[in-house]
Homo-oligomer: A and B are copies of this chain.
């Protein structure tokens, strides 16, 4: 490693260039628990400006060294992991909020801004960035853009890409592209913004983002309920989406997740046993109206066999209800770090067939599979957990076959293998299960056209 000639970078980056030591090892992993998905960086650089990113790209291109941009490291696809070595480009010091433009309802940011920090700055203006993911405490805007991340309110508001009006990107050629701006409509040439969003840093490094903002909803109302007969999800989900008011969240966690939470924490002992959780939220400007929309949804849930636990409540109550959903990944990690949290997405009416299919797989293979996620989007985090008795090595050997079965199930339902986490390197080998050779070839042709040397985050996405 030390033979790689990083010295020319020292003049510009000084102690913002790391080439050895324990400190760089954390850049070998993202939020995937399994060690097998890690990599080893040769160096880590913290740029502080677009010019510095350009210098870095030129340096890497001349030497054909991989560049791996990294945000908050909260990814779940290995997108920010240096699987081919090279330089991790840690964007966390490019974290200025350049402007909050209240007249045009946009924010101009550097990519290292933490999502929640942006939210705190927008709140006093009565605005918000509606495409935020659930890892908002950690994730950075640049990473959200790279993965086209979505979150708990995508059912109403869409995902990150729906709010990106402008991007500054440093290409593999070291050129700075300035795309879009503060205008909400734009058909001037090809939609390169859409191409860069979700491309996982494989086409360039994002150095500035212009986000569309929305007026912050003043009120919300949450209904939380439990469903013993999970097969009724087949009716409940389309019925909720056919309501005249669009819910701001339709979240789900199955009985296995609930059982686990109940066993892990005294605060969740009251959860009824053997039932899945459904959380439905409405937001808007008027407290009475969102309450009545919530009441209508609650009546609908009841008519489909959902036993409601809480309807009326304060903001603090709602936060606590959401906690029940948000703690699911933590509970599953407690159960076993040897797991694969998947990100399968199907047409909404296919959500129950998907879950039922995973149950069949679970029974046949003797592997517990928890299901939770964004029901209203058909985006379920199907999560197989290593059986207690099974050797870890054996688990890893068998995993690709299990994933293949789940991905084939998704494909058979018109779904795909990632809705919001990305392909990264975790799912890259499985792409042919959901994309044909023609589609993959077209993506590779785009990659080849924009990054002919393959220095931009190699081993990811396509």
Contacts and interface: CB of A to CB of B under 8 A. Distances in A.
A216 B425 CA distance: 41
A215 B187 contact: no
Interface string A133-164: 00000000000000110100010000101100
Contacts of A378: 183-185
Contacts of A192: 439, 442-443, 446
Interface in A405-445: 414-423, 431, 434-436, 438-443, 445
B377 A189 contact: no
Greatest chain B CB density within 10 A among A179, A244, A346 is at A244
Contacts of A148: 187, 191
Contacts of A441: 175
24 contacts: A101-B349, A102-B238, A106-B347, A148-B191, A161-B191, A177-B439, A181-B414, A182-B347, A183-B346, A183-B414, A185-B377, A185-B419, A186-B419, A187-B418, A188-B418, A189-B435, A189-B461, A190-B203, A190-B446, A190-B461, A191-B198, A244-B285, A442-B450, A446-B446
Report, nearest first, the 8 A-B pairs whose CB atoms are least far apart. Answer: A244-B285, A194-B194, A185-B419, A182-B347, A103-B349, A449-B449, A104-B347, A445-B449
Contact of A442 (B154, B171, B421): B171
Nearest to A166: B414
Given A244-B285, A445-B450, A461-B190, A185 B345 contact: yes
A113 B313 CA distance: 48
A272 interface: no
Given A185-B377, A187-B418, A434-B188, A195 B198 contact: no
A317 interface: no
Given A177-B442, A284-B244, A347-B182, A191 B195 contact: yes
Given A103-B349, A178-B436, A419 B191 contact: no
Given A186-B418, A446-B450, 8 more contacts: A105-B241, A171-B438, A183-B378, A183-B416, A187-B422, A188-B418, A189-B435, A191-B195
Contacts of A348: 103-105, 184
Copies in the complex: 2
A186 B242 contact: no
A446 B443 contact: no
Contacts of A195: 190-191, 194-195, 446
Contacts of A340: none
A430 to B, nearest CB: 10
Nearest to A159: B185
A148 B186 CA distance: 9
A197 interface: yes
B162 A443 contact: no
Count class of interface residues, chain A: 35 or more
Contact of A198 (B159, B187, B417, B445): B187
Contacts of A415: 181, 183
Interface in A167-183: 171, 175-179, 181-183
Contacts of A215: 242-244, 246
A11 interface: no
A319 interface: no
A263 interface: no
B431 A188 contact: yes
A289 interface: yes
A245 interface: yes
A46 B178 CA distance: 40
A119 to B, nearest CB: 18
Contacts of A101: 347, 349
Contacts of A123: none
Contacts of A420: 185, 187
A462 interface: yes
Nearest to A411: B181
A388 interface: no
A349 B104 contact: yes
Contacts of A457: none
A434 B189 CA distance: 10
A188 B416 contact: yes
